[in-house]
Amino acid sequence: MKIVVCIKQVPDTKGGVKFKPDGTLDRGAMLAIMNPDDKAGLEAALRLKDQYGAEVTVLTMGLPKADAVLREAFAMGADKAILVTDRVLGGADTWATSSTIAGAIRNLEYDLIITGRQAIDGDTAQVGPQISEHLNLPVISYAEEIKVDEKAKTVEVKRQFEDRYHIVKAKMPCLVTALSELNEPRYMTPGGIFDAFEKEVTVWGRNDLKDVDDSNLGLKGSPTQIAKASDKVKKGQGEKVAPDSVDEAVDYIVGKLTEKHVI
């Protein structure tokens, strides 16, 4: 079985959000990490590898420095890694990103493609389903469990909704988007880390993409365009009191609730 896992390098927004003195986001000061949902997707692939001896290829699109997350994937146990990087691919929205990744995956053999549900920088959850459409594959989003029947060439996925889950069966090849709740990703092993820097990352540019028109790539190939982007303006601070006694605190709150006609 051959599995392709799409991963993304993202700035860590959890807890470590840094601001510049002028109040704007300091992206340079934030750690670059493997996107959590993608890491869960990679872990799911590695578990299938443990079980069935699958070959796991990780693929990322990004700047050359995204090499770091591919090395991390090697250290966790991935077999092959591909970095898709090219200036003409920059500024892509989800449509152009998914066209690019689909163009890269067309070069590969695969039974299963796993992506994270969403990346913590964009939070769109769009690229996985969009890749599946470009490749004409079934998609199962929001996976909490993935089981494979190698003989029947099918997957069975626990697909999460707000108030229920479905057990969904799809024919392979197919694409599954993973939730970070799927599993607890393994740590890199010392031997793995050592090997990670020995192994070769395949680097692909625009010309290595298969069956994609220039009009579908990069900023030019992006149907959506940014009209305005800004770091969020914080709401003006309200009142803050530090009462000396509990009674005083209670009176303060009750006073406000009365004033606002809540009680």
Partner 1 sequence: MSLEEYKGVFIFAQQVDNELSSIALELLGKAKNLAEDLDEKKVTAVLLGSGVKGLSDKLAEYGADRVIVVDDPALKDYRTEPYTHALASVINEFKPEILLVGATAIGRDLGPRVSSRVHTGLTADCTSLDIGDFPLNAVPGQEQKHKQLLMTRPAFGGNTIATIACPDFRPQMATVRPGVMQKIDPIKGAKAEIVEFNPGFEENNCYTEILKIVKEASSVADIQGAKILVSGGRGVGSAENFKLLDDLAEALGGTVSCSRAVVDSGWKPKDLQVGQTGKTVRPALYFAIGISGAIQHVAGMEESDIIIAINKDENAPIFDVADYGVVGDLNKIVPALTKKIKESLAAKK
At position 89, the amino acid (one-letter code) is L
**Burial call 138-172: b when 16+ CB within 10 Å, e when fewer:** ebbbbbebbebeeeeeebbbbbbeeeeeeeeebeb
Using the rule CB under 8 A, give the single segment among 44-52, 72-80, 129-137, 193-201 that binds partner 1: 129-137
The number of beta carbons lying within 10 Å of the beta carbon of residue 200 is 8
Residue of 151, 197, 200, 225 that binds partner 1 (CB under 8 A): 225
What tokens does 233 get? 């303006």
The number of beta carbons lying within 10 Å of the beta carbon of residue 173 is 20
Contact partners, residue 152, CB within 8 Å, separation at least 6: none
How far is the C-alpha of 143 from the C-alpha of 187, rounded, in Å? 21
Residue of 49, 108, 138, 193 that binds partner 1 (CB under 8 A): 138
The number of beta carbons lying within 10 Å of the beta carbon of residue 123 is 10
144 backbone φψ class: left, alpha, beta (φ>0; ψ -120 to 50): alpha
The alpha-carbon radius of gyration of the chain (Å, integer) is: 23
Q: How far is the CB of 160 from partner 1 (least distance, A)?
A: 7
At position 53, the amino acid (one-letter code) is G
If binding is defined by CB under 8 A, does position 140 make contact with partner 1?
A: yes
If binding is defined by CB under 8 A, does position 121 make contact with partner 1?
A: yes
Q: What mask of x and - would describe binding to partner 1 in positions 165 to 204, judged by CB under 8 A?
A: xxxxxxx---------------------------------
If binding is defined by CB under 8 A, does position 21 make contact with partner 1?
A: no
Q: How far is the CB of 244 from partner 1 (least distance, A)?
A: 9
If binding is defined by CB under 8 A, does position 206 make contact with partner 1?
A: no
Using the rule CB under 8 A, give the single segment among 49-57, 68-76, 79-87, 218-226 that binds partner 1: 218-226
Q: How far is the CB of 26 from partner 1 (least distance, A)?
A: 10
If binding is defined by CB under 8 A, does position 223 make contact with partner 1?
A: yes
Binding residues for partner 1, rule CB under 8 A, total 78
Q: How far is the CB of 216 from partner 1 (least distance, A)?
A: 9
Q: How far is the CB of 257 from partner 1 (least distance, A)?
A: 7
Give the residue from 191, 165, 51 showing the smallest Cα distance to 112. 51
If binding is defined by CB under 8 A, does position 151 make contact with partner 1?
A: no
Q: How far is the CB of 16 from partner 1 (least distance, A)?
A: 11
Residue of 53, 151, 197, 227 that binds partner 1 (CB under 8 A): 227
Using the rule CB under 8 A, give the single segment among 78-86, 185-193, 203-211, 234-242 that binds partner 1: 234-242
Using the rule CB under 8 A, give the single segment among 50-58, 126-134, 182-190, 194-202 that binds partner 1: 126-134
**Burial call 6-42: b when 16+ CB within 10 Å, e when fewer:** bbbbbbbeeeeeeeeeeeebeeeebebbbbbbbbbbb
What tokens does 109 get? 């053999």
Q: How far is the CB of 190 from partner 1 (least distance, A)?
A: 29
